[in-house]
Amino acid sequence: MTSSVLGLLRATHFLPTVTVTTLTFLLAWRTSDLQTANGIAATVLTGQLIVGWSNDLVDYSDDLLHERQNKPLVSGSISLSSLKWSCALAGVALLTLTIVGPLTGRFGLAHLLAVVSAIAYNFKLKATPFSFLPYAFSFGLLPVIILGATAQPSKLWMVVVGATFGIGVHLANVFKDLENDRSSGIYGLPQILGVEKSRIGCTISFGSGGLVMALNTGEKSAWLIVVAAILFLLPLPSKFIFPFAMLLGLAVMGVFILAIS
């Protein structure tokens, strides 16, 4: 039982799921009360569960081919049926929370569109040159969704920051599996660019997001994001690239909250 639960947690793509949910909670708490923030974060969490679990379901054959024992389905810690049922239950939870929770109305609908966008990446867009679009779309919408649900105004620069962060995360996410993806015929934007150009892309994405914040808000700490983005150009081991991107994402949200204060 314990191994199955841990397997389901790992199949959520735990690090990005926790990061996105935490970012959501922090921003919602900054602009509303604790109960509302918890409700919005719970709704976003269910969407992240669906995205992560559907990704493992779609990738199962390829993960088997490359013997990715870090994937719970491949290692046998969870079964296909249990993952399908979990994904379906998360879908029910998402729709229920969207109806009765604080993330409802047009902003709830926008969140559903963001989730659908991410699922479209899993099923089709990840193997095309347009693989970055779901990340740009979904993360670009995220600040609009959260602020709108808490009756706060959003601005274009916030969408740009969210979108550039999303693209940077996408580029950083495939470093460790880039060559295996190519051998499976998966040629999304990072696989087309290759490792070195993707590093440059990460720097440009995160750096431009920090620059947009700095220029539009006057928040001096935003320049630290610009400087930190340069670290992607260093010869860091591939396995550290994505965790660093997640850490930088938390820093982006911290600066974002300071900026809107």
- Predicted pLDDT at 160: 95
- Predicted pLDDT at 213: 93
Rounded to 10°, the helix 195-217/238-260 angle is 10
- Predicted pLDDT at 195: 87
Closest CA to 182 of 86, 66, 76: 66
Q: How far is CA 110 from the centre of its chain?
A: 16
CA distance 61 to 161: 35
State the SS3 of the chain: CHHHHHHHHHHCCHHHHHHHHHHHHHHHHHHCCHHHHHHHHHHHHHHHHHHHHHHHHHCHHHHHHCCCCCCHHHHCCCCHHHHHHHHHHHHHHHHHHHHHCCCCHHHHHHHHHHHHHHHHHHHCHHHCCCCHHHHHHHHHHHHHHHHHHCCCCCCHHHHHHHHHHHHHHHHHHCHHHHHHHHHCCCCCHHHHHCHHHHHHHHHHHHHHHHHHHHHHHCCCCHHHHHHHHHHHHCCCCHHHHHHHHHHHHHHHHHHHHHHHC
Query: pLDDT of the chain along its 261 residues, tens only?
Result: 577 888 888 888 888 899 899 989 999 999 999 999 999 999 999 999 999 999 999 988 888 888 888 888 888 889 999 999 999 999 999 999 999 999 989 999 999 999 999 999 999 899 999 999 999 999 999 999 999 999 999 999 999 999 999 999 999 888 878 888 888 888 999 999 998 999 999 999 999 999 999 999 988 999 999 999 999 998 878 778 888 988 888 888 888 888 876
- Predicted pLDDT at 1: 53
Pair of tokens at residue 220: 């001096």
- Predicted pLDDT at 43: 97
Backbone angles phi, psi at 253, to 5 degrees: -65, -40
Query: What is the model's pTM?
Result: 0.91
Task: List CB contacts of 242: < 8 A, sequence separation 6 or more.
Answer: 15, 169, 172, 173, 175, 176
